[in-house]
Amino acid sequence: MTALDFVIAALKAIVILVAVIQVVPVMIYVERKVAALIQDRPGPNRVGPFGLLQPVADALKFLLKEDPIPLYTHRLLYTLAPFLSLIPACLVIAALPIADKAILFGKEITVQIADLDVSLIYVLAIGSLGVYGILFGGWASNNKFSLIGALRSASQMVSYELPLGLAAVGAVMIFGTFSLREMVVQQDGTLLGVLPNWGIFYQPIGFLIFLIASFAETNRLPFDLPESEAELVAGFHTEYGSMKFATFFMAEYMNLATMSGLMTVIYFGGWHLPWVTDAQLLEWVGSQNVLCLIQVFTYIFKVSVFMFLYVLIRWTLPRFRFDQLLALSWGSLIPIGLLNIVVSAVLMYFLGGK
């Protein structure tokens, strides 16, 4: 391994991480603007043109606030908990293939931090660690609201991890690989000549399960029971303030980006433009690097669509009750997920291969 390899690896990790963190300010702005639009009010419009600098102001405010540690808390875990949420959120992005490859410094560079052969399970596994930030945070706060919020939240997250996994199994069956990169590569071209060759057309039910479960996994409305501000004050982060509070939110928005990315990659062809194969596109633009740029923008566009969907749904649907939430997962999503696997398996057997 040369020094160049090391520099490339470091750059890849840092650039992609920083890029994903930019999701947070953008989402803060979009969320507030869309909320305003739906509730028929102007929304942030004081800081900068169209209130565009609002996220900067928010960030500065978070940083400049006092960071108190309440008495009676378990100081070490209380301090660590937000980061236990943030660290898995940062680590999962390593598995997402953003684009194919670029050629820089005379080297082929894949636009993905780590091309593991089990990247799909990697995302599910590391993602499942995110629950500890909430659990420990709620416990260490030594507050009843926090504890109830944490327990509810953890039950919700574990209950919806199963449908998420089952939906992923359907995708693995179709593509015959755990590698997200190989999945995207297989989605090149068209299906029957008219449809883009995307995962959603092979696994429509799987996609719906995945979409619903991803809302619950990221604690978004209509599944925001961990917070449920009307019932539990603020849920597991009642006792958190200042940047620690913001860290929980950073993690939440980054998870949102990861989930959107995962759906893009598995069900919507990842970096592929519809109806155009990579080879054709490369012929038109003539350069691998330009192609790579197009792919990156395609990926970002698709992810943005999903993120926007999350925001829209947040301001459209009311919250579930806790028993309804569990019933939805255990009573509907998991059985449907299992059925989806059987039906896919039988169909694949009779249609032979795909």
Partner 1 sequence: METLLPLAILLVVTLLLCAAILIVTQVLGPKNPVPSRLESYECGIKPESGSHVPFKSSFYLIAVLFLLFDVEAAFFLPWALVYRDSLAEGPALLWALLVYLGLMAVGLFYILQKKILKLN
Partner 2 sequence: MKEAVFTFFSLFTLLTAAGVILSRNVIYSAFNLVLCFFGLATLYLLWGATFISMIQILIYAGAIVVLFVFVVMLLNFEKPTEQKTRLPIIILASAGVWTLALILLRVLSKSLGEIPVLETTTRASVRTVSKLLFSQYLWPFEVLTVFLLALIVGIFVLARPEGEEAK
Residues 78-107, mask of contacts with partner 1 (x by CB under 8 A): -x---x--xx--xx--x-------------
Q: Which of 39, 41, 71, 286 binds partner 1 (CB under 8 A)?
A: 71
Residues 87-126 that bind partner 2 (CB under 8 A): 116-118, 121-122, 124-126
Specify whether the CB–CB gap between 226 and 235 falls below 8 A.
Answer: yes
Q: Does 201 bind partner 1 (CB under 8 A)?
A: no
Q: Does 83 bind partner 2 (CB under 8 A)?
A: no
Q: Does 128 bind partner 2 (CB under 8 A)?
A: yes
Q: Does 13 bind partner 2 (CB under 8 A)?
A: no
Q: Does 13 bind partner 1 (CB under 8 A)?
A: yes
Binding part of the chain for partner 2, among 58-66, 143-151, 243-251, 297-305 by CB under 8 A, reads 143-151
Q: What residue 56 binds from partner 2, partner 1, none (CB within 5 to 8 A, per partner kind)?
A: none
Q: What residue 129 binds from partner 1, partner 2, none (CB within 5 to 8 A, per partner kind)?
A: partner 2
Minimal distance in Å, beta carbon 286 to partner 1?
29
Q: Does 229 bind partner 1 (CB under 8 A)?
A: no
Q: Does 65 bind partner 1 (CB under 8 A)?
A: yes
Applying CB under 8 A, the residues found at the interface with partner 2 are 1, 74, 76-77, 80, 116-118, 121-122, 124-126, 128-129, 131-132, 135-136, 139-140, 147, 150-151, 154, 158, 161, 178
